[in-house]
Structure 1
Amino acid sequence: MSRINDNKHELELVMYTQPNCGLCDEAKIQLEFAREEIPFSYQEVDITKDDQLLELWQIRVPVLTYNDAIIQEGIIDFVTVIEELSKFD
Structure 2
Amino acid sequence: MPEAASVVLYSRKSCGLCDAARATILAERRRVRFRFEEVLIDGDDELEHRHGLRVPVVEVNGVEAFEYVVDAALLRSLIG
TM superposition shift of 1:67: 3.5
- Between the aligned partners of 2:38 and 2:25, the Cα distance in structure 1 is 12
Q: Normalising to structure 1: TM-score of the pair?
A: 0.76
After the TM superposition, which segments of 4 or more aligned residues of structure 1 sit over 4 Å from their partners? none
TM superposition shift of 1:37: 3.3
Structure 2 gap segments, 5+ residues each: none
Structure 1 gap segments, 5+ residues each: 1-6
- Between the aligned partners of 2:31 and 2:3, the Cα distance in structure 1 is 14
The count of residues paired between Structure 1 and Structure 2 equals 80
The answer to whether 1:74 aligns with 2:68 is yes
Task: Pick closer, same or farther for the CA change 1:8–1:68 going to 2, 3 Å.
Answer: closer
2:16 to 22, 35, 38: 22
RMSD between aligned alpha carbons? 1.6
| 2:37 corresponds to | 43
1:13-58 Cα offsets, whole Å, 9 max, x none, are 2110001100010111101221233311211111113111101112
Q: Structure with the greater relative contact order (CA < 8 A, sep ≥ 6): 1 or 2?
A: 2
Give the number of the structure whose alpha-carbon radius of gyration is greater.
1
